[in-house]
Amino acid sequence: MKVAQRLYLAVMPAILGVFTVLGLAYWGRYTQQAPELLVVVAVIASVASLIIAWRNTRYVARRVQRLAHARGSPGGAAASGGLQPHTLESRLEDELDEIEANVEGLSSEVAAEREAGTRRSQAAEDRANEYGVLLNDAITTMVASLKEAQLPLHILLSSPFGELNENQEEMLGSAQQALESADAEVRRMRKLVEIDREAISMLPQRISVAELLNPSLAIADARASAAVVRLRTEIADTLPRVIVDPVHTQEAITLVLTDAVTRTKQGGEVIVRAEEEGKNVVITVTPGVAADSVPLAVRLACRVVGAQKGNLDLGREKTTISLPCEAG
């Protein structure tokens, strides 16, 4: 039943009362008495209209209260589901049911959008804080690198051309390395921001784990040899192919391995394992990195892996890289 029909029903007792009064007035004026049948019909009609009006008003009021309760409290619509009376009106098709469903749907959408907005605001705040930390670390690294390059460059500028001794040439080489390190930090920071902005497109391909790891392991092995660190690999023979962007993923793995080699003391060991776990190939690098002291290079690796539906978990003992793979 439509709301308009219920409102008209609420007016019917008043209309009936007007006609009843007019009838009684007519007979009372001309015959000085009212017919007994008219009085009985008027009484019955008045009582019936009162009952109908009461039930109609009570039903509409209860439904409006349900709508208000559902709108005012989370989960109110579900909690008030048992309040609907099991009467003939409640079993018939009712326009109030459609209104209630629309209000509940809008309330749920508004609540979901509000919650999503809160999450987005929190994520933006966390991202801004992280950018602040990364920028501060990058600036600190660049300042330190420039200070390392300051003295060798001063020696180069103050010495006659072509008269550098071996020690001065080594210092000049150190200055070049320091400047390259500062440049690398800036490039990593820029790439991290571009990944967050989705300005870099990942091109996933099916590639074997060995083919993916070999270039990174070669670079890490050279770094390990220079640092007097042993690099040990434990890679399963029958691993499925992973679905990743080879170039960006190899860069991320190289950054993680290089950081692990850098953190390992002379004579220590870096262990790289690869195995299948469910729908992922998991690459484990030991030692790991503490979550409270993550360098920019490892943060960039986290972004690269995360942009490809993978996951990079940091831990003090080990770093775990999960990459999606083909179904077995």
Per-residue pLDDT of the chain (328 residues; tens, 9 = 90+): 666 676 676 677 667 777 777 777 777 776 667 677 777 777 777 777 778 778 877 877 777 777 666 555 544 444 444 444 444 444 445 666 777 677 777 777 888 888 888 888 887 777 777 777 777 777 777 777 777 776 666 666 666 655 666 776 777 777 777 777 778 888 888 888 888 888 888 899 999 999 999 999 999 999 999 999 999 999 988 899 999 999 999 999 999 999 999 989 999 999 999 999 988 999 999 998 877 778 888 989 999 999 988 999 988 889 999 999 987 6
Task: Indicate the length of the chain as a whole number.
Answer: 328
Q: What is the pTM of this model?
A: 0.57
pLDDT, position 91: 44
Task: Work out the end-to-end distance of the chain between its first and last CA atoms, rounded to an integer number of angstroms.
Answer: 58
Q: Where are the beta strands (DSSP E) in 179-306?
A: 205-207, 230-235, 242-244, 269-277, 280-286
The answer to the question of residue 101 being in a domain is no
Question: Which residue type is seen at 245?
Answer: D
Q: Which residues sit opposite 232 in a β-bridge?
A: 271
Q: Do residue 45 and residue 149 come from a single domain?
A: no
Q: Which of 145, 167, 196 is the last residue of a domain?
A: 196
Residue type (1 letter), 201: S
304, 249 Cβ separation under 8 angstroms = yes
Eight-state DSSP code of residue 82: G
User: Would residue 18 count as lying in a domain?
Assistant: yes
Shared domain for 261 and 228, answered yes or no, is: yes
Query: Is 189:135 a contact under the CB 8 Å cutoff?
Result: yes
* Range 36-44 contact pairs with CB under 8 angstroms and sequence separation of 24 or more: none
Under 8 Å between Cβ of 285 and 272: yes
- For residue 66, tell me if it sits in a domain: yes
Q: Which residues contact 89 (CB under 8 A, 6 or more apart)?
A: 1, 55, 59
The answer as to whether 220 is a domain residue is: yes
Ramachandran class of 309: left when φ > 0, alpha when ψ lies in -120 to 50, beta otherwise: left
Residue-level pLDDT at 269: 94
Same domain (yes/no): 236, 290? yes
The parent domain of residue 221 ranges over 205-324
Residue pair 293/310 in contact (Cβ under 8 Å)? The answer is no
In a domain? residue 100:
no
Side-chain half-sphere exposure of 186, counting CA atoms within 13 A = 10
Kindly state whether residues 218 and 262 are assigned to the same domain: yes
Please check whether residue 150 lies inside any domain of the structure.
yes
66 backbone dihedrals φ, ψ, rounded to 5°: -65, -45
What pLDDT sits at residue 96?
65
Domain end call among 153, 177, 196:
196
3-class DSSP state of 267: coil
* Overall number of domains in the chain: 3
- Cα–Cα distance measured from residue 298 to residue 306, given in angstroms and rounded to the nearest whole number: 12
